[in-house]
Each structure stands twice: as structure tokens, then as C-alpha cells.
Chains A and B, each alone.
Chain A
């Protein structure tokens, strides 16, 4: 029964090999990768059901003597993250399949895209299921390698430049991760999370704090927590839209997941709670101020992405059940919404020829559907009441008030302010790109557009590819609907998140599941 845990990691890997072989048959390649990810969604859904009815599922790969081998563990949190990430990767893949045509025109090696994308999804899955720190490292490396390839897809100058920054930063964090691993292994003699949870507690307090700090820095780089987030807005906007979407949705959240996992399981004494709170506050405020200053949609979205990571860190820093539940719910919400927004930004780029707010205008007249597709998730991101963003934020703020410390109250205030500023940033895009009349500069800068690009009736540069992007619009529409669906299922989902948070705080439960006969 527990063998099912190997499937979400293995299937995408086999799929990657298969799609590599099918490189010359794009149709078969698409069918293969979509069906693999479709199966992954089904498995993830069944894992959510199994973990919520029977408790954590553990698979000891290779069945080595207990504390030695590699364990794959799915508890409520990882099953939920698996499901959300599987759904997102599937829909982004469907989106990218329909936009293959535009990529082909710019001579991108599409045959590389599918295998890499599947390896990325395998890496994400492996990170979510990892039951030991080294396997977590391997999962991270898998997804990072795939992301290096995806971010430099096509190898244009701008992408190589952005890719280098991304690569060097992640290299540094991987090196730090390895150092942390070496120190942890030297100090405890194990890398299994459950085993570490027992043994780390026996170390002197200062050493524990050092190790916690090291791991925190490593995962904060991946999750883009404030002082370590400078790389993100620099590297994400240049990649193709589907790639950015899946990065924004998933990769940072893997970092958040790793922070949740290590903080709750390995360091239940919470030495660094204050530090995390300050980091969360700075992430929220400085991130959103960055977004407000930008005039390019993808960059604005990258900055809001950084800023909203702050909410999740806030929930983790609270380390209470309410805080963690809020963080988990917010993570799920944010994966969906941020992915959708980046895909819609891709559609805006396709339709308006640019994502710079200086060059956009009057989209509401030409593409009203696009307007709706942007408006709904944008308002969801800002946290307008009936939507899921609001529910997540309220959950987090309630956790903050429950905590009662002055720092927590400061964070609550910061959270509200960030929410308002997000609304401002989204309104800025909405007003400028959709409702403003087409700026004169657009016509000036591009006096003789090629015949296919000119919609001469209103003189703006609009690429007339409405028919080719219909499937894209439908996919984005489905994602927007999913985001709205989160509001509908918010009650059960929040209950699930709450139970997952309770599981996280009860470390003995996790340890008992992984090492039932008990190891010292």
C-alpha cells in the first residue's frame, strides 16, 4: 500500500525519459507528458484521502534497517502540497502546449521543454515527500537543475543574464545546504528527519540555534524571504510565461514547505521565532513597496510574490496551530493565484505586445475576457472579502492577535498595510493596462508594424492572434475558476489545514509513524 508513495516521484522521471525519446514527435510528446501529470494528480488526490483517513504513510525505500535508508513520508501537509502542485503543473503544461506555436517561432527547442518540465515536477514531488534531509537536498537539486534549463530556454542574451544570477544564488544556497548537512551529520550521525528530531533535541541549545539558523538561511534563499530575496525579481520576469508561472507558484513554496517542515519537526523549541517575525514583516513591506515602484507587469507580480511570502513566514513564525493553519491555507491559495496571474500576464503580453505598463492601454475594449481573467485573481491576491485570499489573511491575522506579543501586533498591522498596497499595485495595472487610452508612445515607437500586428481601427499595436490563443484563454479561465473554487471549498480546506497544523505541532505523531519500533 505504501508503495504508492514512490509513484509521484518515479512517474514524472519515467515520463521525462519517454518524452526525451519522443523528442521528434511533438504530438506524442505532449500526450505523454499530459497523461503522466494527469495520473500524478489522481495519485496526489488519493494520497490526500489516505493521509487524512489513516494518518501518515511511510515508505522505506529499499527496506534497509530502519534509521539508515531513505524514507518517503506523506502526511497531511505534504499530501496537500502534492495535490496543489500536481494540479498546477498539469494546467501550466496544458497552457504551454497551446502556446507551443509562439515558442516555435522564436526557435526555442520545444523538445527540451517537456522532459525538463517533468523532471522539475519530479523534483518538487521528491522535496515534498522527502523524509530525510539529504533526500530533500536531492529533490531541491533536481528541481533547481530543471529550473536552470527552463529559465535559460532558448538562450537569448537577456535570459542568459537573468539565468546566471539565478544560478549563482541557488548555487550558494545549495553549498550552504551541504555545509549544514555536513555539520548536522557530524553532530548527530543521522539525516533522517524523524531521527533528527529526537537527536537534535539532545544537542546543546547554542548548537541547535546555529543549525536552525543555517537551515533557515538555506530555505529562505529558496523561498525568497526578504534580505535573501533580491535574486527573484531579477530573474523571473525574463523567462517564458508558463515557466515563470510554475516557478512563481511552486519553487518558492517548496522553500516555504521546507521551512515549515524543519522548523516544526526539527526545532520545536522555536529559538528564532522573533527573527522570523521580523523577516516576515520586512519581506511583506519591502516586497510590496518594490511592486508599487515597478511599471512592468511581470516584475510587479514578482515583487508581490516576494511580498506575499511574508504572510506565510508570519504564520510559521507564530508557530501556533492557528498560525500554521493560516500559513498552509495561504500557501495553497497563493500557489493557485500567483500561477494564474503570471499566465494571464503572458496572455496580456501576447495580446498587447508588451508587459510594460507604459506601452499598454485600452485592453478592456479589445479583450474584455482578458480583463475578467486578470481582475478576479488580482482581487483575490489583494484579499477582497469573499475570496480565498481574504480568508487566508484573516486566518493569519487571527493567529497574530491570538499570539498577543507586540511584534505579532506589528505584523498584523504590516499584513493589513501590505494587503492595501497590493490592492493599489493591482489597481495600477488594472487602470493603466485595461482602461487608459492607448498611449501615444506606442504608435511613435513602432511606426510600421508588420501587417499581422496592426489592428488599424484604433491604431494600437495588437497582435491579431485571438484564435490561436483561445485554448490559452480557456486554460487560464479554468485556473481562475480554480482560484474561485478555493473560496467555495474554503471551509473544508481550512479544516484540513488546521488538522495538518495540529499534526505538525505533534512531532511525536510523525516520529511514531516513521519509526514505529523506536530508535535512539
Chain B
């Protein structure tokens, strides 16, 4: 089959821009990234369905090769669009909830992960090292709580 080069470039640009936005921290930008990349993928499916300008489903008489465009990718893309719609709704809710809780919609780092990293930097992750004694003795008040310590 012959692909449509313009459509492929458009799809590539949309997906690239979408993926770039996905790497951001603000959830609204992630949302935009999702929208862009899913549209890019939708265009990619159009490429897969063959040449542009053909008739849609012709009914029982239509045979492949007689100028009917392939309906299957369009069915698939419809499914994908519906799924993206749900996705966007969920992401919006999450962004709103995050805004309610923190006053912004940035995605935070994992607290526990940061704690382990600090231990590794201090070279204190070996088993002989009893963290609990140490923390109480030397860093009174500076213990990073595993829960509820996001700032």
C-alpha cells in the first residue's frame, strides 16, 4: 500500500509534541499532551486505512479494491477516541483534585524514594547500619515521615 506522506508527517509532529508535553510536571500540560498524541495516533490510523478520497462503506455490494475505503481502521479509531475521552475526563478530575489538595496541579516526587536516595548519598544503606537509632539520636525532629509529608 502507499502511505500518505503528509498525514504521516502530521501524525509524527502531533505525537512528538504530545510526548514532549507529557514530560512536563503540571497536569494540565500532561492533559494537552494526551490530547495531541491521541490525535496523532488517530491520524496514523487514517494512514493505515489506505488512500484518501475513497467512498465509505458501500453496503453488501462493495468489494475491497473497487474504491471502497477500509472501514475497520475507522472503527478502531472511534474506539480509541472514546477511550481517550474517558482518559481526559479522568485526568481533568485528578488535576482538579490535586488543585484542591495542594493548590497546584504539579506532580510531586515520591517522599519514600527521596528518603532512600538521601540514605544512599550518605552511604548508610547497608544493613549493619540501624537507621532508627541514628535518626532519633542525631536528627531529632528531622525525620522524614513516610506519609503526609508532601510539601
Q: Which residues of A contact B (CB under 8 A)?
A: 68, 134, 138, 141, 145, 148-149, 152, 155-158, 160-165, 167-168, 171-172, 174-175, 178-179, 181-183, 185-186, 189, 191, 233-234, 237, 293-296, 299, 354, 356, 358, 428, 439-441, 444-445
Once the chains are docked, how many angstroms separate the CA of A160 from the CA of B30? Answer: 15
- If A145-B90, A186-B47, A444-B136 touch, does A160 touch B101 (CB 8 Å cutoff)? yes
Annotate B1-30 by CB proximity to A: 1 below 8 A, 0 otherwise: 101000000000001001100100001001
> B41 to A164, Cβ gap below 8 A?
no
Residues of A contacting B41 with CB < 8 Å? 175, 178-179, 182
CA distance A149 to B87 in the complex (A): 11
Q: How far is the CA of A156 from the CA of B146 in the complex (A)?
A: 14
Would you call the interface of chain A mostly helix, strand, loop, or mixed? helix
Residues of A within 8 A of B131 (CB): 295, 358
Interchain CB contact under 8 A, A168 and B15: no
- CB–CB A157/B107 < 8 A: no
B148 in contact with A168 (CB, 8 Å):
no
Complex interface: chain B residues within 8 A of A152 (CB): 94, 97
Q: A155-B97, A183-B48 are in contact. Are A171 and B116 (CB under 8 A)?
A: no
Task: Name B's interface SS.
Answer: helix
Contacts A/B (CB < 8 Å), 9 sampled: A145-B90, A157-B101, A164-B27, A164-B98, A167-B91, A171-B87, A175-B18, A234-B110, A445-B143
Contacting pair B72 A185 (CB below 8 A): yes
> With the chains together, A186 CA to B7 CA distance in Å?
13
Partner pick for A296 among B22, B76, B112, B136, CB 8 A cutoff? B112
Most buried by A among B38, B102, B110: B110
CB distance from B34 to the nearest CB of A (A): 6
Shortest CB distance A437–B (Å): 12
Q: Which interface residue of A160, A179, A445 has the most chain B CB atoms within 10 A?
A: A160
CB pair A293 B94 closer than 8 Å:
no
Complex: A183 Cα to B150 Cα, angstroms: 42
* B45 → A minimal CB distance (Å): 5
A152 to B41, CA, bound (A): 27
Chain A residue nearest in CB terms to B64: A189
Closest to B79 in A: A138
Docked pose: A158 CA to B111 CA in angstroms: 9
Please name all residues of chain B whose beta carbon is closer than 8 Å to the beta carbon of A299 when the two chains form the complex: 112
* Top 7 A-B residue pairs of the complex, sorted by shortest distance between their CB atoms: A186-B48, A182-B44, A358-B132, A178-B41, A157-B101, A185-B48, A182-B48
- Measured between beta carbons, the chain A residues less than 8 angstroms from B135 are 358, 441
Is A168 a contact of B136 with CB atoms below 8 Å? no
Q: Does B63 contact A (CB under 8 A)?
A: no
